[in-house]
Structure 1
């Protein structure tokens, strides 16, 4: 085991939470983009009729 101070452990934990938060936000963004794209595609298909 590397000798690791409490401060290091806390920093690692904060970094992990920050990365998780970014992941969650980017997942929300990509979900939003995907649903928008689906809406646009269905609108385009209804316009073709």
Structure 2
């Protein structure tokens, strides 16, 4: 387990009150193929473009 470097309180007396997940496996916008598919627009710019087209 990684050290708690930002000193967040993950312990709780209530079950399922605090649930976390690791999102490092997901591909984010900086991936080349995603940028190409969106026409080199950001995801927000692409959505606006598609809604106004």
Q: TM-score, normalised by structure 1?
A: 0.22
Higher relative contact order (CA 8 A, sep 6+): 2
Q: TM-score, normalised by structure 2?
A: 0.21
Greater Cα radius of gyration, structure 1 or 2:
1
